[in-house]
Amino acid sequence: MPVQRISLLRSPARGVSIITAELRRKYRNADHICSGVRFRDEMGMLHEDWKNDGEVGCPGMALPELLRAQALERHMSVVVYSGESLRRR
């Protein structure tokens, strides 16, 4: 699947919510949408967060680590899980 670049807007938390909602619409049959985000706030403090969306084993925890390894900030990494094909019908 190609990498899709989407701006996290001025508010990273709002950007993450918008992106996740769009992915839920695009992949309606997805079981879980795990995500990791890494950004600096307006004070320059670095924040990292991740969500498992109910998937077992904490797969979302590895996503900020991938961003950190590449020194990426203001980025979000997402993995979409499904027991069936994610192709839109």
DSSP states of 17-66: HHHHHHHHHHTTT-SEEEEEEEEE-TT--EEEEEE-TT-TT-GGGHHHHH
> Across the chain, what does the average pLDDT equal?
81
The two structure tokens encoding residue 63: 């996503």
Q: Residues 48-51: contacts with CB within 8 Å, 24+ apart?
A: 49/16, 51/20
Whether 6 shows a pLDDT value over 60: the answer reads no
Q: How many domains does the chain have?
A: 1
Whether 46 shows a pLDDT value over 60: the answer reads yes
* Residue 1 confidence class, pLDDT cut points 50, 70, 90: very low
Expressed as residue numbers, the domain containing 49 is: 31-84
Q: What is the pLDDT of residue 9?
A: 52
85 vs 39, higher pLDDT: 39
Weakest mean pLDDT among 7-21, 22-36, 74-88: 7-21
Is 23 part of a structural domain of the chain?
A: no
